[in-house]
Amino acid sequence: MSEALELGVNIDHIANIRQARFTAYPDLLAAVTQVEAAGAHAITMHLREDRRHVQDADIYAVRQHMTTRLNFEMAATPEMVKIALDVQPEDVCVVPEKREELTTEGGLDVIGQFQRIQTVTQQLGQAGIQVSLFVEPDIEHIRRVVELGAPVVELHTGTYANKRGAEQQRELERIQQAAAFAHEQGIKVNAGHGLDYENTPVIAAIPQMRELNIGHAMVARAVFVGMHAATREMLALMRSARA
């Protein structure tokens, strides 16, 4: 029997539009209202070290006004840990971050940076925050997540999203195997990155999947139909995949 599947909507790209001209619009709180009214289960925001889109004030404002869950994406740095402990989101997803990258590229190095990630995981967990680690769909990496003590893993789906044909099928099989293995270890399984209205259903159909975090494709769709409709459409796709 499949687990219940939830949708976290990443609103970073709404902030990207605003920061392109440093205006007061589009209003992130208005977007949150529409997304939540449409039935989304969480709001995802990545406060980057260079503050290229979401700003500190955005995190606090959304936290104060939202009615669902806040999934705070962050790098494993002392600055971000301090902010997370102050904001107290329900969830934190620890992600890799490079200043020069356009978007997050790949999963955390849970092998080479084991100690640093463990320290962050423990600090956040002791504060009552559910910690997710963003990793590649790789069995060895999942084993390290177990050792790190994180209760949640978010599988990187960017490679799957960028492949086609037989290569995409192989990557899908990696995700399926990683999800099954993580579930067997008692870890909640989420996924995200590069998911859109065409490739999401196959990922949503994975029975162990509990949450998908999707942003860019939904904001792009919202240009034509609005955030409420874009959210409803994605939720409908996810429900159909589980039918």
Q: What is the domain count for the chain?
A: 1
Query: Is 118 domain-assigned?
Result: yes
Residue 135 confidence (pLDDT) above 90: yes
1 within a domain of the structure (yes/no): no
pLDDT above 70 as % of the chain: 95
What is the pLDDT, as a whole number, of residue 2? 56
Question: Is residue 47 a part of any domain in this protein?
Answer: yes
137 CA to centre of own chain? 14
Q: Which of 53, 183, 193, 228 does the annotation list as catalytic?
A: 193
Task: Report the pLDDT averaged over residues 171-191.
Answer: 98
- Alpha helices in 88-212, H assignment, sequence order: 114-126, 139-148, 158-162, 165-184, 200-204
Domain that holds residue 91: 6-242
pTM of the model: 0.94
Which of 6, 13, 53, 73 is catalytic? The answer is 73
For residue 46, indicate whether it is catalytic. Answer: yes
CATH code of the domain containing 178? 3.20.20.70
Predicted confidence (pLDDT) per residue in 186-232, tens digit? 999 999 999 999 999 999 999 999 999 999 999 999 999 999 999 99
- Tell me whether residue 73 is one of the annotated catalytic residues: yes
Which of 6, 13, 41, 46 is labelled catalytic? 46
30 is a domain residue = yes
Mean pLDDT of 64-86: 97
Q: Return the pLDDT at 1.
A: 45
